[in-house]
């Protein structure tokens, strides 16, 4: 544990440093109150503080008062050292904000015991904070799961109803063209053909909705993802702008994953299309496939904490990035920031990952770019 020692006397400071290090503390030294205050303004400052009362520039008592007045997070544990032994001085030190008051000269055993008290208090404080964070994270994960399940049920029900309506519409339109095609005006036949084509496009949208709601027919089997990604590269390049450069890096000897090969092609197409749009059709899209080992991160989709080893397929662009508001709704169906978009691309990705026990990590910065990392368990897992 970090221990800040603020003592203006060099000899005393060195003695305190020596004995504290023997007791296992990581010591940080300050020659006066102002130096100690600057240390406390840094990132990850020490929480266990040993402050001398009599210091130039800013006394230990004044430093205590300043710390307590400006504390925003969990409080530090402060031990105030002083040669003042009167009851009034002890009360003043405690009221200024110190947790413990040690009068000089003191026994090392007493100081050690007081430091151990502070350490236990800070550890309890940290454990409580960790438990609260864990509870909050689990609540967010549960809310996200319920939200996506509800959206999946609604979307699935809508898709089935649309399918029934489209089936009737397309059936009767085809019958009208086949049976009366020679007798109806050419313009009417053109209208009916256009209606049929529009129905086909609507059918594709319904298929995307079913994919999000996990209600599509998926053939899951062990597959060599490296071969599938390599085979998809030419098709991805063909569908991209001529001003888009695409690079691919694949690790050797990767194990199989459990997935439908067509779904791998689909997620690559979705992510590459998004990357191209983010860069306005000009730039480089980098594809990488390999091991992701000893991961400890939160899934951007389901919010679960991910651990262990995974196969990672990532797509990186240097485009406009994704803002926090969009990121919060990214996997919801029909949510889009594009004028002509349907908002089903990332929703389909959610469905595919959910069905294959996969997860997604999104690293993005507005104006810099985005990296989407798809994680798949290997067959053995």
Backbone φ, ψ for residue 372 (5° rounding): -105, 120
* Alpha-carbon gap, residue 22 to 270, rounded angstroms: 58
Beta-carbon contacts of residue 243 (< 8 Å; ≥ 6 apart): 281, 282, 283
Cis amide leading into 105 (omega within 30): yes
Question: Cα dist. 174→159, 169, 192, 206, 351 in Å?
Answer: 21, 9, 8, 19, 32
pLDDT value of position 230: 92
Residue among 209, 217, 218 nearest 151 (CA): 209
Q: Read off the pTM.
A: 0.60
| Neighbouring-strand partners of residue 248 | 287
**Taking the chain, what is the end-to-end CA distance rounded to the nearest angstrom?**
38
What's the token pair of residue 333? 């169906």
Task: Indicate the SS3 state at residue 29.
Answer: strand
What secondary structure does DSSP assign to 230-286, as a single string?
HHHHHHHHHHS-TTEEEEEEE-SSPPPEEE-HHHHHHHHHHHHHHHHHHTTT-EEEE
What pLDDT score was predicted for residue 219? 65
Q: What are phi and psi of 326, to 5 degrees?
A: -65, -40
Token pair of 318 as six digits: 């240097």
Would you give per-residue pLDDT tens digits along the chain (381 residues)?
A: 899 999 998 999 999 999 999 999 999 999 999 999 999 999 889 999 999 999 988 999 999 999 999 888 789 999 999 988 888 988 998 999 999 999 888 899 999 999 999 999 999 988 888 888 888 878 877 877 777 776 777 777 777 777 787 888 888 888 888 888 777 888 888 888 888 888 887 777 777 666 666 655 566 778 899 999 999 898 888 888 889 999 999 999 999 998 888 888 888 988 999 999 999 999 999 999 999 999 999 999 888 899 999 999 999 999 999 998 888 888 888 777 766 556 678 888 888 888 888 999 999 999 999 999 999 998 865
- Check the CA dihedral 364-365-367-368 and report its sign: negative
**Residues composing the chain:** 381
Annotate 138-200 with DSSP letters as a single string: HHHHHHHHHHHHHHHHHHHHHHHHHHHHHHHHHHHHHHHHHHHTTTS-HHHHHHHHHHHHHHH
pLDDT at 193: 85
| Residue-level pLDDT at 293 | 93
What pLDDT is attached to residue 208? 67
**Residue that has been written with the tokens 């089997």 in this structure:** 221
- Among 370, 204, 353, CA closest to 264: 353
- Residue 175: predicted pLDDT: 86
Element spanning 304, H or E = none
Q: Do 100 and 94 meet the contact criterion of CB atoms below 8 Å apart? A: no
The total of other beta-carbon atoms located within 10 Å of residue 151's CB is 19
- Tell me the two tokens of residue 97: 């904000």
Q: What is the C-alpha separation between 276 and 345, in angstroms, rounded?
A: 14
> Strand, helix or coil at 341?
coil
Phi-psi category of residue 369: left, alpha or beta, with phi > 0 → left and psi -120 to 50 → alpha: left
Q: How far is CA 282 from the centre of its chain?
A: 28
Instruction: Say how far residue 179 (Cα) sits from the centre of its chain.
Output: 57
**Cα gap 285→180, rounded to integer Å:** 51
Candidates 2, 55, 5; CA nearest to 29 is 5
Whose tokens are 């991209």? That residue is 240
């Amino acid at each position: 544990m970090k221990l800040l020692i603020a003592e203006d006397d060099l000899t005393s400071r060195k003695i305190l440093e020596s004995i504290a290090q023997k007791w296992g503390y990581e010591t940080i030294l300050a020659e006066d109150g102002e130096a100690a205050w600057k240390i406390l303004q840094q990132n990850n400052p020490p929480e266990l503080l040993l402050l001398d009362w009599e210091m130039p520039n800013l006394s230990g008592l004044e430093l205590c008062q300043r710390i307590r007045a400006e504390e925003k997070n969990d409080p530090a544990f402060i031990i105030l050292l002083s040669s003042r032994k009167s009851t009034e001085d002890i009360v003043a030190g405690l009221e200024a904000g110190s947790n413990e008051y040690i009068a000089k000269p003191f026994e090392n055993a007493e100081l050690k015991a007081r430091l151990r008290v502070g350490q236990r208090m800070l550890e309890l404080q940290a454990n409580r904070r960790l438990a609260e964070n864990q509870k909050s994270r689990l609540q967010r994960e549960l809310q996200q799961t319920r939200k996506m399940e509800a959206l999946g049920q609604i979307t699935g029900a809508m898709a089935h109803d649309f399918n029934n309506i489209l089936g009737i519409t397309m059936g009767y339109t085809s019958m009208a063209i086949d049976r009366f095609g020679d007798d109806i005006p050419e313009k009417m036949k053109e209208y009916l053909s256009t209606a049929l084509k529009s129905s086909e496009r609507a059918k594709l949208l319904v298929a995307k909705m079913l994919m999000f709601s996990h209600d599509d027919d998926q053939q899951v089997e062990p597959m060599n993802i490296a071969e599938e990604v390599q085979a998809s590269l030419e098709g991805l390049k063909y569908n991209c702008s001529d001003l888009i450069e695409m690079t691919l890096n694949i690790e050797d000897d990767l194990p199989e994953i459990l997935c439908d090969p067509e779904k791998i092609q689909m997620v690559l197409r979705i992510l590459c299309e998004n990357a191209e749009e983010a860069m306005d059709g000009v730039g480089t899209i980098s594809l990488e496939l390999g091991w992701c080992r000893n991961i400890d991160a939160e899934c951007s989709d389901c919010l679960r904490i991910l651990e262990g080893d995974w196969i990672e397929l990532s797509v990186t662009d240097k485009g406009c990035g994704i803002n926090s508001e969009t990121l919060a709704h990214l996997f919801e169906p029909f949510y889009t920031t594009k004028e002509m978009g349907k908002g089903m691309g990332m929703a389909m990705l959610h469905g595919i990952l959910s069905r294959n026990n996969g997860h997604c990590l999104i690293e993005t910065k507005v104006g810099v770019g985005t990296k989407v990392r798809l994680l798949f368990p290997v067959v053995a897992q």
